[in-house]
């Protein structure tokens, strides 16, 4: 016999089921507005208006282009080095360019401290060999994206004792004799950069040391090394200034992408390029709309990188809390700005906006590092350095350098050595300051006119143009890292202050 449930129990059950249905219905079908404006985009009935869709497409393309610009900037910058060499008649795999650099060579923060040797090597026909004799060399190889491949010389596996170094193309699986130090590149075109330290100020000896470097194909039984070509004193532009804020940036990038194999870890960034019309194996033919977006993105991307370089808000950029000097490289000891969780893209932007090439040895912050670099772009009050004002920089002695030290002045717009009729941009312990001895601090001067009696310790600057300085120490010792030694800040000398008056009167036009 069935027992009837009390009426109140049936009513309660129905009420509970209704409540559950109501809760479930509310969860599954949220209340939305018939028309909603979110950020800059208007939606009706859940769909974007035609104006909103067009605006979203424009913004998305622009944002993709800016992100792509910043990521691929090192690639275009590297190509500009190759291009500058080719423009002067130097060929890949044939010419080893050597020079004692100065203001006539335009390139991001090149310096006059040590003679340079550089070569473009192309691995399309197989590995290339770089032979260094024993000596004071600091060298590296970077791929076409300015990715680190290997160090050579003092910071490398040969530790300055000399040796044979071989650069392998992507995917190479041939047998390499044990006598070679191996670097595996991710691109076909690579940049070889070698400095020879001028021991006791012997620049000619350092130039001869570069002439002794041999670069040749691995496959040649009787190799003929590249010819060393001295371009000291000649005008040379290896910067990407002419490309960096216009359509040429994208055209050059498309050319490089087409000429190189894909780098596996860059696949998301190839995706960004594809979205804006740059894809390996396909023509680059943007319409008028996309050209406008790409031109704006080049300017915006360049400016954002310069902000990272010269107006960063990161606390870790400061070298000391009581000074205005900054670290240039913000990821110590890294090869590719890598961190435990990824890649520090802001640090990467900061570096490549003002410098070229990478190596973990360049970013080491410990005694035994080959060199260190500090950026000075503000005076003691925090104002940017102005070419129309005069400054004094006090450097305590002795500087903690096993080898030597220098201060080099760069134009803020070209990021290259300042160009004036003085034809000099550096004060160096082995040359201009070789008479400095003892423990008395030395005062250095910077401005449009020299102070009386200080011309030998003065670098001329250009009214109307900002400038910054790199303080370099070669063979830095512990006090350079532990804070027990530090240079002063740039101090404005009011008696020598000039108002900006216009363009420089130097030997040639400064690149814009």
What is the distance between the alpha carbons of residues 494 and 144, in angstroms, rounded to a whole number? 47
312-496: in CATH 2.20.25.90: no
Closest by alpha carbon to 425, among 380, 468, 376, 384? 468
Residue, of 178 and 29, whose pLDDT is higher:
178
Closest by alpha carbon to 504, among 427, 425, 407, 393? 425
Confidence bin at 506 (pLDDT 50/70/90):
very low
Summarised one tens digit per residue, pLDDT across range 342-357 is 999 999 999 999 999 9
Give percent of the chain above pLDDT 70.
Answer: 89
Count of positions (residues) in the chain? 512
Q: Write out 66-125 in H/E/C secondary structure.
A: HHHHHHHHHHHHHHHHHHHHHHCCCCCCCEEEEECCCCCEECCCCCCCCCEEEEEEECCC
Q: Report the chain's C-alpha Rg in angstroms.
A: 29
pLDDT the model gives residue 508: 38
pLDDT higher than threshold 80 for residue 28: no
Contact call for residues 118 and 191 (beta carbons, < 8 A): yes
pLDDT the model gives residue 31: 57
Structure-token pair, residue 397: 């002695």
Query: What mean pLDDT comes out for the span 63-87?
Result: 97
Q: Where are the domains of the chain?
A: 89-233, 312-496
Average pLDDT value over all residues in the chain: 91
pLDDT higher than threshold 60 for residue 498: no
* Highest averaged pLDDT of the listed ranges 1-5, 408-412, 448-452: 408-412
Q: Write out 110-164 in H/E/C secondary structure.
A: CCCCCCEEEEEEECCCCCEEEEECCCCEEEEEEECCCCEEEEEECCCCCCCCCEE
Residue, of 496 and 179, whose pLDDT is higher:
179
* Residue that the structure tokens 């423990």 belong to: 439
Q: What's the pTM value of the predicted model, to 2 decimals?
A: 0.89
pLDDT higher than threshold 80 for residue 299: yes
What is the distance between the alpha carbons of residues 477 and 495, in angstroms, rounded to a whole number? 37
Of 40-44, 53-57, 170-174, 354-358, where does mean pLDDT reach its minimum?
40-44
Query: Which CATH number applies to 89-233: 2.60.40.1610, 1.20.1260.10, 3.30.430.20, 3.40.50.300?
Result: 2.60.40.1610
Q: Which residues on neighbouring strands pair with residue 41, listed in sequence order?
A: 38
């Amino acid at each position: 016999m069935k027992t009837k449930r009390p009426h109140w129990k049936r009513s309660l059950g129905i009420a509970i089921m209704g409540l559950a249905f109501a809760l479930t219905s509310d969860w599954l079908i949220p209340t939305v507005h018939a028309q909603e404006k979110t950020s800059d985009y208007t939606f009706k009935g859940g769909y974007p208006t035609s104006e909103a869709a067009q605006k979203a497409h424009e913004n998305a393309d622009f944002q993709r282009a800016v992100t792509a610009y910043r990521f691929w900037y090192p690639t275009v910058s590297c190509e500009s080095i190759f291009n500058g060499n080719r423009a002067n008649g130097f060929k890949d795999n044939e010419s080893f360019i050597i020079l004692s650099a100065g203001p006539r060579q335009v390139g991001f923060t090149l310096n006059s401290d040590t003679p340079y040797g550089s070569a473009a090597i192309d691995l399309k026909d197989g590995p290339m060999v770089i032979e260094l004799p024993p000596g004071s060399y600091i060298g590296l190889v970077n791929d076409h994206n300015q990715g680190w491949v290997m160090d050579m010389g003092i910071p490398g596996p040969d530790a300055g004792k000399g040796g044979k170094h071989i650069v392998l193309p992507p995917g190479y699986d041939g047998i390499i004799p044990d006598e070679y130090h191996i670097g595996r590149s991710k691109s076909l075109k690579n940049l070889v950069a070698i400095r020879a330290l001028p021991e006791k100020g012997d620049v000619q000896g350092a130039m001869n040391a570069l002439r002794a470097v041999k670069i040749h194909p691995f496959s040649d039984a009787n190799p003929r090394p590249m010819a060393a070509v001295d371009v000291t004193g000649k005008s040379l532009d290896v910067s990407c200034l002419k490309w960096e804020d216009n359509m040429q940036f994208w055209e050059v990038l498309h050319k490089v992408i087409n000429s190189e194999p894909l780098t596996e870890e860059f696949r998301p960034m190839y995706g960004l390029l594809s979205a804006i019309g740059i894809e390996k194996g396909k023509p680059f033919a943007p319409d008028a709309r996309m050209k406008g977006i790409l031109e704006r993105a080049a300017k915006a991307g360049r400016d954002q990188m310069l902000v990272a370089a010269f107006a960063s808000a990161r606390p870790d950029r400061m070298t000391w809390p009581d000074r205005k000097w900054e670290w240039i490289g913000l990821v110590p000891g890294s090869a590719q700005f890598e961190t435990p969780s990824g890649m520090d893209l802001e640090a990467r932007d900061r570096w490549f906006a003002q410098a070229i090439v990478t190596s973990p040895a360049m970013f080491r912050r410990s005694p035994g590092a080959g060199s260190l670099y500090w950026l000075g772009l503000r005076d003691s009050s925090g104002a940017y350095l102005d070419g129309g004002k005069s400054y004094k920089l006090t450097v305590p002695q002795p500087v903690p350098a096993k080898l030597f030290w220098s201060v080099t002045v760069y134009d803020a717009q070209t990021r290259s050595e300042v160009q004036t009729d003085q034809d000099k941009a550096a004060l160096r312990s082995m040359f201009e300051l070789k008479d400095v001895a003892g423990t008395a601090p030395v005062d250095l001067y910077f401005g449009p006119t020299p102070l009386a009696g200080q011309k030998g310790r003065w670098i001329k600057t250009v009214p109307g143009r900002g400038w910054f300085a790199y303080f370099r120490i070669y063979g830095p010792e512990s006090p350079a890292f532990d804070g027990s030694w530090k240079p002063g800040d740039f101090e404005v000398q009011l008696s020598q202050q000039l108002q900006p008056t216009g363009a420089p009167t130097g030997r040639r036009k400064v690149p814009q």
